[in-house]
Structure 1
Amino acid sequence: MSAPAPVPALPVTFRPTVTRTVLLSVGTVMFVVISAIGLMLEQLSTGERLSFILTALLFSGVLALLSRPKVVADDTGVTVVNLTRTRRLEWAEILRVNLRPGDPWVFLDLSDGSSLPVLGIQPGVAKERAIRDARALRDLTESRSARDDDAR
């Protein structure tokens, strides 16, 4: 049996890097290809060419938005960045870090009784890394909660 992994040094950022790389690469390639097609078609007016470029920009923007999720843990707490919302949590607010089989991402059980999805840790493409990241976040949460309890 191997020794448990040490708690990561703070600050630490968790994000689905493979997914992010693919989304940003595809967005860039799509923008270039669609814009080039719009500019190369001679029968198009200036407005129609502009609509090709704006459409390419819209597609790229959506893919950039999908690549945004991350989790940043520091000494005072955790910042969860999902698609359109960012939420700052103190360590004491996080009761449990959950990544059950079949879950699309990590969920945080919070002290107010709610659950917060954390899209920054996703087992879809890199399952082992997501499990390691979820364990590291869980270990950080447990160690910080114990430290906060000792300070009281």
Structure 2
Amino acid sequence: MSVPSSVVDLPRTWYAKRSRLITAVLGTIILVGLCVLAVMLPEQGGWGFGSRMGVAFTGVIGLGAMLMLGRPKVVAAVGGVTVVNLLRTTHLEWAQIVRVYLRQGDPWVYIDMSNGDTLPVMGIQTSNGKADAISAARELRGLAEKYGAAPDAR
């Protein structure tokens, strides 16, 4: 079997660079803005220390939420693929991957697994450039074909 030209060296990590940058910047703006607001609030009207800390803590929560939105990534290694989505991390052995695809209109890549489930791969997103997403999907597909089960066994 010939190895596709899109196969890359391992380990390889893909992540949504633009989304990660935007969410980090927005989270920082939220945190700084709410901390400045907490300092500037007048003491009259019930804005004591506890209330100010509550406003600042809301900024911390906002930063955490934004960083979580920028969390998705995909790490391919010889032992398999680790897919990190917003709340869940899934490790797949290469043999568990039946198909890697990105259809027109899909926001990110999907993996069909041998157990019949489909796993979204949010670390490879079309919002960060369609050509980059297509290239990354081809690379991941090539690795799945190289390290996974033989095509006739699927």
The two structures share one fold, judged by TM-score above 0.5: yes
- 3-state DSSP of counterpart to 2:146: helix
Give ranges in structure 2 of 5+ residues lacking alignment: none
Report how many aligned residue pairs link the two structures: 146
1:115: which partner in 2? 118
Matched-pair identity in %: 45
Name which of structure 1's ranges 110-119 and 120-129 shifts more when overlaid on structure 2: 120-129
Partners of 1:126 and 1:26 in 2: how far apart?
20
Give the RMSD, CA atoms, in angstroms.
1.7
Say whether the 8 Å CA contact 1:92–1:148 is kept in structure 2: no
Partner of 2:142: 139
- Are the equivalent residues in 1 in contact too, given 2:38–2:52 (CA < 8 A)? yes
2:95 match: 92
For 1:94 and 1:128, how far apart are their aligned partners in 2?
23
Q: Secondary structure at the match of 2:125?
A: coil
Partners of 2:80 and 2:123 in 1: how far apart?
Answer: 16
2:35 paired residue number: 35
Q: Does 1:15 align with 2:15?
A: yes
SS at match of 1:124: helix
TM-score by length of 1: 0.90
Q: 1:146: how far off?
A: 5.6
Gaps of at least 5 residues in structure 1 are: none
> RCO (CA 8 Å, sep 6+): is it higher in 1 or 2?
2
- After TM superposition, the score normalised by the length of structure 2 is 0.89
Single out whichever of 60-69 and 34-43 deviates more from structure 2: 34-43
